[in-house]
Amino acid sequence: MVINGQSLLDLKPIANMERIKIVANGMSYGLSEAGYDIRIAQDITLDKDKSFSLASALEYFHMPDNLIGVVHDKSSWARQGLSVFNTILEPSWMGYLTLELFYRGETPLVIKAGSPIAQVIFHEIKERATYSGKYQNQGPEPTPSIYER
């Protein structure tokens, strides 16, 4: 079941959640109808035609043990050729979310820090769970891939 509105605010998966939509750089962030729109922490410039970059979310997450989050594209960016990979936020995970950005537009794309970048949809899970993996407690800078060999 998707958790939204006051129920989402009560669970507090994000520190200092905005209770309403706020407009920044022509797009909205904060509580949306079905989830929560997050912002990017860094200025990013993506070159035209198949550019990849890591960035991080401005928001700090502390996921409850009965909730997962799924990151989705923000349609205003997707219509310009930007994809934000659909990362899963595991139950009990905490930290600043690293975002994987892929751009396939025809001209360079500049994204300013603080701009809304993606939407997170939160789902209640049937059995409580605890994440204890390698990406727990990520800092405010993007975290590159950690290979376990």
According to the model, what pLDDT value does residue 51 have?
A: 96
**Which position among 59, 100, 127, 148 bears the catalytic label?**
100
Extents of the domains making up the chain: 2-124
Q: How many helices (H) and strands (E) does the chain have?
A: 2, 12
Report strand pairing: 51-62 vs 94-103.
antiparallel
- Tell me whether residue 90 is one of the annotated catalytic residues: no
From first to last of its 149 residues, the chain has per-residue pLDDT tens of: 999 999 999 999 999 999 999 998 789 999 999 999 999 999 999 998 899 999 999 999 999 999 999 999 999 999 999 999 989 999 999 999 999 999 999 999 999 999 999 999 999 999 999 999 999 999 999 999 998 66
Q: Report residue 105 as tokens.
A: 């537009």
Q: 76-89, pLDDT tens digit by residue? A: 999 999 999 989 99
Q: Are 117 and 111 in contact (CB under 8 A)?
A: yes
User: Which CATH number describes the domain made up of 2-124?
Assistant: 2.70.40.10
Report strand pairing: 21-24 vs 2-3.
unpaired
According to the model, what pLDDT value does residue 149 have?
A: 65
pTM, to two decimals: 0.94
3-state secondary structure of 139: coil
Percent of the chain at pLDDT exceeding 90: 93
